[in-house]
Amino acid sequence: MRKHSPIRSKTSYRRQGVVILTLIIAIICCAVAIGVFVAADLFSKRGISIAIESSSDISSGSLTTPQTESVVTLDPTPSESSDVTESTKTSETEPTDTTERVPPTIPTGITGPDLTGYVVVLDPGHQLKPNREQEPLSPTMSGSKDKVSAGTQGVTTGRPEYEVNLEIGVLLRDYLESLGCTVYMTRTENDVNISNIERAQFALSYTPDAYIRLHCDGSSDPNRKGIGVFIADSGKHKDKLPGWSDLLGNALSEATGAKYRGYNASSRYSGLNWATDIPSFLLEMGFMTNPEEDILLSHPEYQLRICEGIANFVSQMPLNPDRPTNLD
Ligand SMILES: [Zn+2]
């Protein structure tokens, strides 16, 4: 065997070293190049999503219909649920001057389903001043809740939720009555003090075909929007409530064009837990923390669409067989 000379051996080692060094440099260059590509890709996608979001503005002067999206189920633990977290919500929006606001009215000669014989109780959620006194969460479970929580506030309009709830409630009462429905309201003023249990007991006393609690939603995410329905997860109507909730949500979605986010059955709503003997629903009509829906919820034409959707829902409900028949 031939031996390598020391000089050849040194040269060989040097060549090998150069090759290895070149390989290392090439690998580093590749890694850097891949990194740059990934970063550039992420940046361009982010740029597109920002562009899409910023193009969805609406003007307050004209009513635009949001795109209807596929039905999804609400989060099992919705953080925006008004009765649960509204007390922790704050808004820095200055309330706008609403003293000159003209209450919406229904146009003459509206058409809709014949609601003769139906009885509906409406509860415009919240009131001027929240009531932090506690009342039992449920007739069957331990725990307590605020008698009336604060509600959310319009991120664009600055309007408090209790005011919008009542405005739509009064319009809805007139709308349903014009179609032959009998309607009772838990409140027709903002400056009242009626707890959620008292509202439930008021509703129970009429054995209605539907007890609808009117609310607007709030979230820390301004992009969240759409319609939600909350129901009790117990009581005599437990099995039928999910189907009825979908009737309500879909009817409202069809009339307004807003997305129905699905229903959520929960035991955390005192106002529902105390009214499980009647078909009771907490309807979140839209998000006041979403700039677009906040404006829509105060728009007279959109409010009429909400009324239309709820009227269509009522017409699909069975008459409550528990209601005593009128013998007069
Ligand atoms: Zn609410």
CA of residue 28 to ligand 1 center, whole Å: 57
Query: What is the predicted pLDDT for the residue at 325?
Result: 80
Per-residue model confidence as pLDDT tens digits over 215-251: 999 999 999 999 999 999 999 999 999 999 999 999 9
Q: How far is the CA of 293 from the centre of ligand 1 (A)?
A: 15
What is the C-alpha to C-alpha distance for residues 2 and 71, in angstroms, rounded to an integer?
81
Strand (E) or helix (H) holding 153: none
Positions in the chain short of pLDDT 70? 1-14, 17-99, 326-328
283 CA distance to ligand 1 centroid (A)? 9
Instruction: Classify burial at 158, counting beta carbons within 10 Å of its beta carbon; exposed 0-12, middle 13-18, buried 19 or more.
Output: middle
pLDDT in tens, 242-293: 999 999 999 999 999 999 999 999 999 999 999 999 999 999 999 999 999 9
DSSP string, 183-224: EEES-SSSS----HHHHHHHHHTT--SEEEEEEEE--S-TT-
Contact call for residues 121 and 208 (beta carbons, < 8 A): yes
Structural Rg of the chain based on CA atoms: 29
DSSP H helices, the chain, are 6-54, 82-85, 161-178, 196-204, 241-256, 270-273, 291-297, 300-316
140: number of Cβ within 10 Å: 11
Q: Is the pTM of this model over 0.85?
A: no
| Distance (Å) from CA 217 to ligand 1 centroid | 6
DSSP 102-130: PPP-PPTT------TT-EEEEEE---SS-
Amino acid identity for residue 161 in this structure = E
Ligand 1 centroid to Cα of residue 325, in Å, is: 34
What distance in angstroms lies between residue 21's CA and the mean position of ligand 1's atoms? 67
Return the pLDDT at 27.
Answer: 66
- Separation CA 238–CA 231 (nearest Å): 9
Q: What is the DSSP letter of 172?
A: H
Report the separation in Å between the CA atom of 46 and the middle of ligand 1, taken as the mean of its atom positions.
33
Report the C-alpha gap between 9 and 176 in whole angstroms. Answer: 99
Contact (Cβ atoms closer than 8 angstroms) between residue 308 and residue 107: no
